[in-house]
Amino acid sequence: MNTFYTLTLGCKINQYETQAIIEALLVQGRTPVNDPAEAGLILVNSCAVTATAVSDLRQAVRRLHRANPRAEILVTGCAAQILGQELASLPGVVRVLPQERKAELLGCEPATHGWQPFAISDYGRARPVLKVQDGCSHHCTYCVVPLARGRSVSREPEEVLEEAERLLVAGFRELILSGVNLRQYGADLPGTPDFWDLLALLDRELAPRWAEWARLRLSSLEPGQLGDKALETLAGSRMVCPHLHLSLQSGDPEVLKRMGRGHYRPEQALEFAGRLKAAWPVFGLGADLLVGFPGESAAQFENTLSLARDLPLSYAHVFPYSPRPGTAAAAMSGHVSQEEKKARAARLRAVTTAKKRAFLKALATGGEFSVLVEESSGAGLSEHYAPCRVVGNAAVRVLVRVRPVGLEAGRVLAEPLEDA
């Protein structure tokens, strides 16, 4: 059977790489199917960032094998890099291709160093991911990403611009600029441009044609990136969505140091948000927050809780700490009990959930904004990354200027402006 089925677990970078592999398989003459029972090849692009992610992977492989015992299952991605032998023993798995060799699936030899030859011309969702950086050279004490993806590598700015133009011409109206650690973008490139240099280039080259028709969204940033240059670049951009997502992790400086993240102060996020208000009167702000890190005291958790209350958050992803084999944190003393981690996560989620509700309510009673309609039901995302539903006639996969008219089941209801 020359058919294939793909399953992607984990981050946006995996979604991008799966798309590149799909395009390569199509060139090779293979046919995609939506049902794994019809596939001759099943490709699973894996994640290993948490114990839950690995557990989900095992269950998914077993489920796929039961659905199609004849299919050849190939597992690649981060879990394949660090758990290769274990994954090879799962039922139906005929090959485990580690992250460092994933580019072989493109039909070419992986690069011996630098950027691997991933590129896309299409995407299965309304908002394509545009990968600009991979890997991480920082080694946070809790994180397996450096073990799974290797050191930081950056994509040449000209290649990023070329792919952005290709996707916009293909009809996409929002591109998500993504990387594993955007703070490290450009350190390995000639002239060492940083991420803000890349963003300024994209805005300068794309805005004259696309500013009224398309937008750029930024994936996760670090508070340490948020200085004067960031503010100047964001304030001057004609295409960037008024939305930031921060890899904040903790509101306590001592916990951050133990995490290996002492290169920024928790207050930097709060200070930058205050300065950004002049350029973006209304903006979405998300954060990743990790609770129950080894040695985190009740008072240190309260510092995270306090920072979450003070930040103008519109949502947050809250994670209880999960020990990962091979990381420094796994061997630390002072591990917090599962019960306490669960309780702390629940308290923090209560705060961030209330902030999300308040943000949506304010958006629903405020001024006009734009929505990218992603589904025929009118469902989509506002420029601030808020879930919306456009009522009335609105084409799918286009930006629509709207006025809010209310709230419905956690979404802002909006109607298209007559002159939009």
Paired with 289 in beta bridges are: 249, 318
Tell me the average pLDDT across 132-136. 96
**Count of structural domains within the chain:** 3
> Is the pLDDT at 419 greater than 80, yes or no?
no
Residues of the chain above pLDDT 70, percent = 99
Question: Which pair of structure tokens corresponds to residue 333?
Answer: 């003393």
Residues of the chain above pLDDT 90, percent = 93
Q: Give CA–CA dist 347/350, Å, rounded.
A: 5
Of 27, 161, 144, nearest to 81 by C-alpha is 144
CATH number at residue 251: 3.80.30.20
Same domain (yes/no): 398, 352? no
Same domain (yes/no): 355, 384? no
Tell me the average pLDDT across 185-212. 97
- Decide if 312 is inside a domain: yes
pLDDT tens string 21-55: 999 999 999 999 999 999 999 999 999 988 899 99
- Decide if 138 is inside a domain: yes
Instruction: Out of 52, 71, 106, pick the residue that ends a domain.
Output: 106
pLDDT tens string 371-400: 999 999 999 999 999 999 999 877 899 999
pTM of the model: 0.95
Same domain (yes/no): 215, 322? yes
Q: Is 281 helix (H, G, I), strand (E, B) or coil?
A: coil
- Decide if 43 is inside a domain: yes
- Decide if 283 is inside a domain: yes
Can you give the residue range of the structural domain that contains 245? 129-364
Question: How is 116-169 classified by DSSP, letter by letter?
Answer: -----S--SSSS-EEE-EE--SS--TT--HHHHH-S-EE--HHHHHHHHHHHHH
